[in-house]
Protein backbone atom coordinates (compact mmCIF):
# COMPACT_ATOMS: atom_id res chain seq x y z
CA UNK A 1 0.00 0.00 0.00
CA UNK A 2 1.39 3.41 -0.98
CA UNK A 3 2.28 5.79 1.84
CA UNK A 4 1.88 9.52 1.25
CA UNK A 5 2.78 12.37 3.60
CA UNK A 6 0.48 15.39 3.70
CA UNK A 7 1.79 18.63 5.20
CA UNK A 8 -0.49 19.75 8.03
CA UNK A 9 0.86 23.24 8.64
CA UNK A 10 -2.29 25.17 9.46
CA UNK A 11 -2.98 26.55 5.97
CA UNK A 12 -4.33 23.56 4.07
CA UNK A 13 -7.46 21.51 3.55
CA UNK A 14 -5.81 18.41 4.99
CA UNK A 15 -8.97 16.54 6.00
CA UNK A 16 -10.53 16.39 2.54
CA UNK A 17 -7.18 15.58 0.92
CA UNK A 18 -6.61 12.79 3.44
CA UNK A 19 -10.04 11.26 2.90
CA UNK A 20 -9.63 11.35 -0.90
CA UNK A 21 -6.29 9.55 -0.63
CA UNK A 22 -7.60 6.97 1.82
CA UNK A 23 -10.48 6.19 -0.55
CA UNK A 24 -7.79 5.23 -3.06
CA UNK A 25 -6.19 2.85 -0.56
CA UNK A 26 -3.23 5.02 0.44
CA UNK A 27 -1.75 5.18 3.91
CA UNK A 28 -1.76 8.88 4.82
CA UNK A 29 0.62 10.50 7.27
CA UNK A 30 -0.19 14.06 8.39
CA UNK A 31 2.82 15.95 9.70
CA UNK A 32 4.43 19.32 10.33
CA UNK A 33 7.76 17.71 11.29
CA UNK A 34 10.71 18.69 9.04
CA UNK A 35 12.40 15.32 9.60
CA UNK A 36 9.27 13.42 8.55
CA UNK A 37 9.05 15.61 5.45
CA UNK A 38 12.67 14.91 4.52
CA UNK A 39 12.10 11.16 4.90
CA UNK A 40 8.72 11.00 3.11
CA UNK A 41 8.21 8.65 0.18
CA UNK A 42 5.99 11.23 -1.53
CA UNK A 43 4.67 14.56 -0.30
CA UNK A 44 1.52 16.65 -0.78
CA UNK A 45 1.53 20.39 -0.08
CA UNK A 46 -2.10 21.52 0.27
CA UNK A 47 -3.05 25.13 0.71
CA UNK A 48 -5.97 27.47 1.18
CA UNK A 49 -6.07 31.16 2.02
CA UNK A 50 -3.29 33.72 1.73
CA UNK A 51 0.21 33.05 0.42
CA UNK A 52 1.85 35.27 3.05
CA UNK A 53 0.21 33.36 5.90
CA UNK A 54 1.08 29.99 4.37
CA UNK A 55 4.72 30.95 3.90
CA UNK A 56 4.87 32.32 7.45
CA UNK A 57 3.58 28.99 8.76
CA UNK A 58 6.04 26.97 6.67
CA UNK A 59 8.88 29.20 7.85
CA UNK A 60 7.89 29.06 11.53
CA UNK A 61 7.74 25.25 11.40
CA UNK A 62 11.11 24.92 9.68
CA UNK A 63 9.55 23.35 6.59
CA UNK A 64 10.79 25.65 3.82
CA UNK A 65 14.22 24.07 3.33
CA UNK A 66 13.00 20.43 3.59
CA UNK A 67 10.40 21.18 0.90
CA UNK A 68 12.96 22.88 -1.33
CA UNK A 69 15.33 19.93 -0.92
CA UNK A 70 12.66 17.26 -1.47
CA UNK A 71 13.60 15.20 -4.55
CA UNK A 72 10.85 12.56 -4.62
CA UNK A 73 7.32 13.09 -5.97
CA UNK A 74 5.69 16.25 -4.58
CA UNK A 75 2.18 17.49 -5.36
CA UNK A 76 1.00 21.02 -4.62
CA UNK A 77 -2.76 21.57 -4.37
CA UNK A 78 -4.51 24.92 -5.03
CA UNK A 79 -2.46 27.49 -3.05
CA UNK A 80 0.13 24.72 -2.87
CA UNK A 81 0.68 25.19 -6.63
CA UNK A 82 1.22 28.92 -6.21
CA UNK A 83 3.69 28.39 -3.36
CA UNK A 84 6.03 26.52 -5.74
CA UNK A 85 6.71 29.75 -7.68
CA UNK A 86 9.09 32.59 -6.77
CA UNK A 87 6.85 35.43 -5.59
CA UNK A 88 3.22 36.44 -5.21
CA UNK A 89 1.77 39.92 -5.63
CA UNK A 90 -0.80 39.18 -2.91
CA UNK A 91 -0.53 42.22 -0.63
CA UNK A 92 3.13 43.20 -0.47
CA UNK A 93 5.23 41.00 -2.78
CA UNK A 94 5.60 37.68 -0.94
CA UNK A 95 8.66 35.45 -1.44
CA UNK A 96 7.52 31.87 -2.10
CA UNK A 97 9.42 28.57 -2.32
CA UNK A 98 11.12 29.49 -5.59
CA UNK A 99 11.01 26.01 -7.14
CA UNK A 100 9.47 27.20 -10.43
CA UNK A 101 10.38 30.53 -12.06
CA UNK A 102 7.79 33.27 -12.17
CA UNK A 103 5.45 35.47 -10.15
CA UNK A 104 1.89 34.67 -9.07
CA UNK A 105 -0.46 37.54 -9.95
CA UNK A 106 -4.02 38.58 -9.26
CA UNK A 107 -6.61 36.91 -11.44
CA UNK A 108 -8.10 39.50 -13.83
CA UNK A 109 -10.48 37.57 -16.09
CA UNK A 110 -12.12 40.61 -17.64
CA UNK A 111 -15.77 41.71 -17.69
CA UNK A 112 -18.69 39.46 -16.74
CA UNK A 113 -16.50 37.01 -14.76
CA UNK A 114 -16.14 37.14 -11.00
CA UNK A 115 -13.10 36.74 -8.78
CA UNK A 116 -12.44 34.31 -7.25
CA UNK A 117 -12.77 31.76 -10.01
CA UNK A 118 -15.05 29.30 -8.24
CA UNK A 119 -16.58 26.26 -9.87
CA UNK A 120 -16.03 23.67 -12.56
CA UNK A 121 -13.80 24.33 -15.58
CA UNK A 122 -12.52 22.12 -18.37
CA UNK A 123 -8.88 21.01 -18.55
CA UNK A 124 -6.85 21.05 -21.75
CA UNK A 125 -3.51 19.23 -21.68
CA UNK A 126 -0.43 20.98 -23.01
CA UNK A 127 1.66 17.79 -23.21
CA UNK A 128 1.60 14.18 -22.06
CA UNK A 129 2.59 13.46 -18.48
CA UNK A 130 2.16 10.54 -16.05
CA UNK A 131 -0.07 12.71 -13.84
CA UNK A 132 -2.45 13.19 -16.78
CA UNK A 133 -2.66 9.50 -17.69
CA UNK A 134 -6.32 8.62 -18.32
CA UNK A 135 -7.51 12.26 -18.23
CA UNK A 136 -9.35 13.25 -21.39
CA UNK A 137 -9.16 16.76 -22.81
CA UNK A 138 -12.23 18.61 -21.63
CA UNK A 139 -12.45 16.79 -18.30
CA UNK A 140 -13.85 19.02 -15.56
CA UNK A 141 -12.03 20.04 -12.37
CA UNK A 142 -13.16 22.18 -9.44
CA UNK A 143 -11.40 25.53 -8.90
CA UNK A 144 -11.42 28.10 -6.09
CA UNK A 145 -8.76 30.80 -6.49
CA UNK A 146 -8.25 34.52 -6.90
CA UNK A 147 -4.59 34.44 -7.98
CA UNK A 148 -3.03 32.76 -10.99
CA UNK A 149 0.38 31.29 -11.73
CA UNK A 150 2.42 32.36 -14.77
CA UNK A 151 1.87 30.41 -17.95
CA UNK A 152 5.22 29.04 -19.11
CA UNK A 153 7.39 25.97 -19.72
CA UNK A 154 6.18 24.31 -16.49
CA UNK A 155 2.51 24.32 -17.59
CA UNK A 156 1.05 20.84 -18.09
CA UNK A 157 -2.62 21.73 -18.56
CA UNK A 158 -4.75 24.84 -18.75
CA UNK A 159 -8.28 25.92 -17.98
CA UNK A 160 -10.04 28.92 -19.48
CA UNK A 161 -11.47 31.72 -17.36
CA UNK A 162 -11.42 34.85 -19.47
CA UNK A 163 -8.08 33.62 -20.77
CA UNK A 164 -5.76 30.67 -20.19
CA UNK A 165 -5.08 29.62 -16.60
CA UNK A 166 -2.23 27.20 -15.79
CA UNK A 167 -4.29 24.45 -14.17
CA UNK A 168 -1.43 21.96 -13.70
CA UNK A 169 2.34 22.48 -13.64
CA UNK A 170 5.45 20.35 -13.36
CA UNK A 171 9.12 20.98 -12.68
CA UNK A 172 11.27 17.83 -12.28
CA UNK A 173 9.55 15.66 -9.64
CA UNK A 174 7.31 18.50 -8.45
CA UNK A 175 3.77 18.60 -9.79
CA UNK A 176 0.84 20.82 -8.82
CA UNK A 177 -2.85 21.44 -9.49
CA UNK A 178 -4.43 24.88 -9.22
CA UNK A 179 -7.77 23.11 -8.77
CA UNK A 180 -8.80 20.80 -5.93
CA UNK A 181 -8.37 17.18 -7.07
CA UNK A 182 -9.95 15.98 -3.84
CA UNK A 183 -13.15 17.83 -4.87
CA UNK A 184 -12.99 17.06 -8.60
CA UNK A 185 -14.89 13.74 -8.73
CA UNK A 186 -13.51 11.06 -11.06
CA UNK A 187 -11.02 13.44 -12.71
CA UNK A 188 -9.44 14.37 -9.41
CA UNK A 189 -9.43 10.80 -8.14
CA UNK A 190 -7.57 9.66 -11.26
CA UNK A 191 -4.97 12.42 -10.86
CA UNK A 192 -4.41 11.47 -7.21
CA UNK A 193 -4.14 7.80 -8.17
CA UNK A 194 -1.60 8.71 -10.84
CA UNK A 195 0.41 10.60 -8.22
CA UNK A 196 0.35 7.61 -5.87
CA UNK A 197 1.64 5.41 -8.68
CA UNK A 198 4.62 7.63 -9.57
CA UNK A 199 7.94 5.91 -8.82
CA UNK A 200 9.43 7.30 -5.63
Has this prediction a pTM greater than 0.95? Answer: yes
Catalytic residue among 78, 90, 117, 149: 78
- Answer yes or no: 177 catalytic: no
- Answer yes or no: 117 catalytic: no
Number of domains making up the chain:
1
Listing DSSP states for the chain in one string gives --EEEEE-SSSS-HHHHHHHHHHTT-EEEEE--HHHHHH-SSEEE---S-HHHHHHHHHHTT-HHHHHH--S-EEEETHHHHTTSSEE-SSS-EE---SSSSEEEE----TT--SSEEEEEE-EESS--GGGTTPPTT-EEEEEESEEPPPSTTEEEEEESSSEEEEEEEETTEEEESS-GGGSHHHHHHHHHHHHTS--
Catalytic residue among 145, 149, 177, 182: 182
- Answer yes or no: 78 catalytic: yes
Average pLDDT value for residue range 36-47:
97
| pLDDT tens, residue by residue, 150-194 | 999 999 999 999 999 999 999 999 999 999 999 999 999 999 999
Range of the domain at 68: 3-196
Catalytic residue among 90, 117, 145, 180: 180
CATH code assigned at 26: 3.40.50.880
Amino acid sequence: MTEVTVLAYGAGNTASVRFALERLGATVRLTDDPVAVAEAERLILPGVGAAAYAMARLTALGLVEPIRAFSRPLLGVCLGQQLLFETSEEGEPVPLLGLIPGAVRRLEPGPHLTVPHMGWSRLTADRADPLLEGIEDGAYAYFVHGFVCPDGPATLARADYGGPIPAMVRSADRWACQFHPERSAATGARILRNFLELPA
